[in-house]
Amino acid sequence: MNRSSTDPRDAALPTADHVIGTTAVMRGLRATPHFFQVPLDHSRPASPLIEVFAREYSSLDHSDDDAARLPWLLFLQGGPGGRGVRSTQLTGWMKAAAKQFRILMLDQRGTGLSTPADAATLASLRSPQEQADYLTHFRADSIVADAELIRRRLGSNPWTVFGQSYGGFCTLTYLSTAPEGIDRALITGGLAPLSGVADDVYRATFARVEERNRQYFSWYPEDRGTVTRIARHLDDVVEHLPSGERLTAQRFQMVGSLLGGNTRVHALHYLLEDAFISVGGRPRLSATFLEQVHGMVSRAAQPLYAVLHESIYCQGAASAWAAQRVLEEYPQFRADAKETLLTGEMIYPWYFTEDPALRPLQPVAEILAAKEDWGRLYDTDVLATNTVPAAAAVYRHDIYVDRDLSLRTAATVRNLEVWETDEFHHDGIADDGEAIFERLLAMTRA
């Protein structure tokens, strides 16, 4: 295995294509690690190899032999750049799924225990252009090709694929390029636009985020002034995050990621109430507040999220920093607006100067933002004739994956049943994953 390789392009040392590690037994579950060698570029047979890690979860309610006979369910995590969930017990949707499936939790290429793609490993490539060329193989099309290769190596029949958020985008790509590998498809908060440009996404989501700000401040009117006070304080007073860099007002706005949560939105109120302390009779931001904010605004643990985020919408066109350009149409989101609003998951070019973890990746991010020749991620003709049973939860007020764009996609995918609800937000499966999973599974069996 090549986890110790200093050059991410290096072919793996001679090893089996599939290595199974030692099973751990935890509270009610078995967890078995799997390592797979896959091509960096699936279109080139002689492409260097990288490693993709996945963890198999099964319930102790099944004997070892019975568990080995269960059909597989592949879970595709949100992202981009998100590793698979590390579970120590079966709860939520996993509890429901493990009743009848073996769950394969994928560390998408570049994340977790898969061959890493971060500032340290990419630095071994000779130029930012080589880094960009390498990272073009880390989008949904490559993730799906990995998954299908893994399915065959496991000897699995067509499996159930469950995609959350960006994992839903990947599921649509899977239905486009290898539907023969899927028995049924389940999607939550992840119906991607099949065409158009990234600008369309941000125009829709800026509007959703503004609406969510208004809703939040109607619940906690005292926080309206606190948010603006923090922003103005950061303009005038130098406050440092625990990692040493200055916290700016525009970076503080990133804590709006909590607005996309069903219950974690209320954690924003607890965050803000800890903001200020008095030091020598003058207001300063508390260490407690700065520590919590750092955990929310740093991309150190997930650099690919920032580097690849806008590219997940690109097909034959450059993103050209779409969120930054569309922001000009929404001046109410400027950090220096009279009443500061919090933002969602948008990625801006200044992230790569303000976040120390992203500074080494600024050149490659600029190249990827200017790249125009992105390949297709979806085959609309194949989706229009899809025969795989599919079901999707569309969250009416989702600030990350717009409801209207999702329904437009759903209308063009044959055999896809939609459950639209205002009961949940983007992280619905974290709130009541068991009920959501069981409902979608039943929809594919109707």
Q: pTM (2 decimals)?
A: 0.94
**What's the pLDDT at 45?**
78
42 counts as catalytic: no
Task: Pick the catalytic residue from 5, 114, 142, 165.
Answer: 165
Assess whether pLDDT exceeds 60 at residue 383.
yes
Residue 54 near residue 159 (C-beta atoms within 8 A): no
Least confident of 41-45, 215-219, 389-393: 41-45
Distance, CA of 360 to CA of 124 (rounded, Å): 12
Residue 161 near residue 105 (C-beta atoms within 8 A): no
Structure-block tokens of residue 232: 């103005």
pLDDT band at 10 (very low <50, low <70, confident <90, very high): very low
**What average pLDDT does range 160-177 have in this prediction?**
98
Q: Where are the domains of the chain?
A: 18-194+377-443, 198-370
373 counts as catalytic: yes
Task: Pick the catalytic residue from 34, 233, 309, 426.
Answer: 426
Residue range 82-113, pLDDT digits in tens: 999 999 999 999 999 999 999 999 999 999 99
Residue 113 near residue 107 (C-beta atoms within 8 A): yes
Question: Residue 403 gets which letter from DSSP?
Answer: H
Question: Is-cis flag, bond preceding 45, omega within 30?
Answer: no
Residue 276 near residue 285 (C-beta atoms within 8 A): yes
**What's the pLDDT at 2?**
39
The fraction of the chain above a pLDDT of 90, given in percent, is: 94
**What's the pLDDT at 391?**
98
Task: Pick the catalytic residue from 65, 236, 373, 381.
Answer: 373
According to CATH, the topology of domain 18-194+377-443 is Rossmann fold (3.40.50)
pLDDT band at 155 (very low <50, low <70, confident <90, very high): very high
Other beta carbons within 10 angstroms of residue 155's beta carbon come to 8
**What average pLDDT does range 216-224 have in this prediction?**
98
**What average pLDDT does range 372-381 have in this prediction?**
97
- Nearest of 348, 443, 440 to residue 395 by alpha carbon: 440
Residue 184 near residue 390 (C-beta atoms within 8 A): yes
Q: Please report where in the chains the tokens 């580097």 appear, as a residue.
A: 307
**What average pLDDT does range 363-391 have in this prediction?**
98
**What's the pLDDT at 4?**
36
64 counts as catalytic: no
**What's the pLDDT at 180?**
98
